[in-house]
Structure 1
Amino acid sequence: MQLFHQILVRTVALGVCTVALGGCGQQGALYLPPSQGAPRASLPESLRPTLLSPPAAPAASAPQNQ
């Protein structure tokens, strides 16, 4: 009887979890929103902007007196 009770409880819990997870998410058709404003940075650009940006021009150095 104990084994039957465990199987029943686990089956009901699995069913409840399946139904709950099945109801998650956005309903309706998927679409791309219209583009607005300036282009956004990609994930690598936002994580490491210094690695992907072009190198800065070297600063003009003053003439050295010898």
Structure 2
Amino acid sequence: MKFICLSCGEKESIPMDVVKFLDDADIANDPNNPPQFTCEKCGKEMYPEYYRNALGIEFKISDLQ
């Protein structure tokens, strides 16, 4: 699954099983936020290009741009 840095635009592929594992662990706390990672290039926040969580909430990078 592709994540894009909100600061520098760097793209990184994260295995879907890793994304789902982390999201499932956090979904009870905050289902309205997608799984996010830190950019290895600049250290800023990365956002999923597209992701739909177990509750059916969709997150798209295009919604932020």
Sort the TM-score into its range (normalised by shorter chain).
Answer: under 0.3
Q: More relative contact order in 1 or in 2 (CA 8 Å, sep 6+)?
A: 2
**Quick check: which has more Rg, 1 or 2?**
1
When you count helix as a share of all residues, which structure comes out higher?
1
When you count strand as a share of all residues, which structure comes out higher?
2
TM-score of the aligned structures, taking structure 1 as reference length = 0.21
